[in-house]
Amino acid sequence: MNWFKYSSPQSFFPLAGKLALWFGALAAIACAAGLYIGFFVAPTDAQQGEAYRIIFIHVPAAWMSMFLYLVMAFWAGLGLAFNTRLSGMMASAIAPTGALFTFLALWTGSLWGKPTWGTWWVWDARLTSELILLFLYFGFMALQAAIDDPRRADKAGAVLALVGVVNIPIIYFSVKWWNTLHQGASVSLTKAPTMAATMLTGMAVMAFGFWFYSIAAALMRARCIMLERERASEWAVEYARGSA
Amino acid sequence: MNWGSLDNFLAMGGYAFYVWGSYLVTLGLLVAEIVLLALRKRSALARLRLQGTAAQGDR
């Protein structure tokens, strides 16, 4: 298979449309299954009662916020290294969805913190570094929006995105490095998870749901960016005429 | 998990505000993002069509 076939916007555009549809459908199925497990299969928590059910969106949203940043930085770096047009478009397409999940991680965390910790917000290492992640996303988007030439905007954004990667391990390990109010990881690669199996399953299924959603949303946005940036190309005008 | 009744389910053991406040905002924002993307595509296409018509007029 020739992977470079899809490295031009013209040939990637229709593929992205099909993929967005499929991943959107998968996201809907996974989220429906995840919510069913989360609300009807997983038991009530012995200490937190029903408040803990926020976990089924809080943890997947937090995972996605960090994962999407890494994927965004990967595409940005690829664009910087090889000067490929599509890479920069992918990085720009991921940023708003990444910012959305970062906001949701903070929002649901706040609504979970109030009943369990007694506060909406504390300036602890985990929360603060996650807030910095939100500002990194906003900074990336604002920087790109401020530069008229898309290729230069991609380059400037890529440098910011790559420098910001240092924040990801800080968020992840913040609960180990500092004494924080936020609890440590309940799920890790090295130990058995410290939660009921059904809770873990619900969380994992929701994480897949958010992951598929992110792919679908990013591809939809990438298609918009392609149409906007390639407006001088025959294929874009042709496609617009065909879709009337 | 058996909630017994819809009221019990909606009450979320007294944590309704926090649980539903999380879920509804998440749902709202995800749906809003998709709607905004559909609108963005529509306006990009409208602009391209306008541009295509203008180009034809030049010939």
Give DSSP secondary structure letters for A155-189: HHHHHHHHHHTTHHHHHHHHHHHS--SS---SS-S
User: pTM (2 decimals)?
Assistant: 0.93
Whose tokens are 């929006």? That residue is: A145
Structure confidence by residue, pLDDT tens digits, A79-106: 999 988 899 999 999 999 999 999 999 9
**Rounded distance between C-alpha atoms, residue B21 and residue B16, angstroms:** 8
Residues of A in contact with B29 (CB under 8 A): 100, 103-104
pLDDT exceeds 90 at position A17: yes
Alpha-helical (H) ranges within A195-233 are 197-229
Residue A131 CB-density burial (10 A; 0-12 exposed, 13-18 middle, 19+ buried):
middle
**Rounded distance between C-alpha atoms, residue B20 and residue A236, angstroms:** 43
pLDDT band per the 50, 70, 90 thresholds, residue B3: confident
Q: For residues B8 and A40, is the Cβ–Cβ distance under 8 A?
A: no
Residue type, B59: R
Alpha-helical (H) ranges within A118-166 are 125-146, 150-164
pLDDT exceeds 70 at position A192: no
Interface test with A, best of B19, B20, B27 (most A CBs within 10 A): B19
**Rounded distance between C-alpha atoms, residue A8 and residue A109, angstroms:** 40
A185: left (phi over 0), alpha (psi -120 to 50) or beta: beta
Beta-carbon contacts of A128 under 8 Å, excluding residues fewer than 6 positions away, are none
pLDDT exceeds 70 at position A190: no
The residue with greater pLDDT, A1 or A30, is A30
Residues of A in contact with B47 (CB under 8 A): 231
pLDDT band per the 50, 70, 90 thresholds, residue A177: confident
Q: Which of A217, A227, A241 sits opposite B41 (nearest CB)?
A: A227
pLDDT exceeds 60 at position A3: yes
Q: Specify the DSSP element, H or E, that contains A83.
A: none
DSSP state of B46: H
pLDDT band per the 50, 70, 90 thresholds, residue A18: very high
Q: Which of A171, A172, A100, A173 is nearest to A132 (CA)?
A: A171
Q: For residues A187 and A5, is the Cβ–Cβ distance under 8 A?
A: no
Q: Which of A44, A104, A112 sits opposite B26 (nearest CB)?
A: A104
Instruction: List all residues of chain A from 157 to 196 with a beta carbon under 8 Å from chain B.
Output: none
| Maximum Cα interatomic distance, chain A, rounded to a whole number of Å | 62
Q: Looking at chain A, which residue has its C-alpha nearest residue B55? A: A237
Q: For residues A175 and A187, is the Cβ–Cβ distance under 8 A?
A: no
The residue with greater pLDDT, B58 or A49, is A49
**Rounded distance between C-alpha atoms, residue A202 and residue A210, angstroms:** 12
* A77-82: long-range pairs with CB below 8 Å, 24+: A77/A158, A77/A161, A77/A162, A79/A154, A79/A155, A79/A158, A80/A154, A80/A155, A80/A158, A80/A159, A80/A162
